[in-house]
Amino acid sequence: MSTTTNAQICYGVVFEADCEFPWGNDIELWWRNLLGFRHSFEIYDESGKYINGVQPGVEIFTAYHAEQMEFNKAHPLPVELIFHCSCEYTMYILAVKGTTKTARRGYAVEFDPMALAVTDEQKAVLMEFCERHGLSFVDGPAWFLTSWWC
């Protein structure tokens, strides 16, 4: 097992390290549930295992996940959750979607600093999301350069 050490830059808001988010550990599942997404059929039971312990065939499995992907495409999560610091001490940024750039360990990434721009509309989406879901941040909105060691 290897350790990743990535650099990242994004435009967003910073939260306390011990912040409790309404989505627990899965923001995408929370978002789909919040918007009322339901599969037309189930392949998993309440404990997350296959119903009756039987893995469905490829066609059923593919159809099940295609429903979810269609919903995600029609109702995209308007923000990105960014992890920084380390796996042992995870810290969070909620970023404007599409502003995150990552340089993975050992790989240089070329970018134009002039392209680091955020519109007033993008800022408003982020701020509205935070307000609507009762999220109190400690810094931002701004550009943040962070590291992620995991």
Residue 3 burial (CB < 10 Å; 0-12/13-18/19+)? exposed
Task: Render pLDDT for 84-98 as a digit per residue (tens, 0 to 9).
Answer: 999 899 999 999 999
Any idea what DSSP says for residue 9?
A: E
Measured in degrees and rounded to the nearest 5, phi and psi for residue 49 equal -95, 160
Q: Report the pLDDT value the prediction gives residue 72, as an integer from 0 to 100.
A: 96
The pTM (predicted TM-score) of the whole model is 0.87
Task: Render pLDDT for 58-85 as a digit per residue (tens, 0 to 9).
Answer: 999 999 999 999 999 999 999 999 999 9
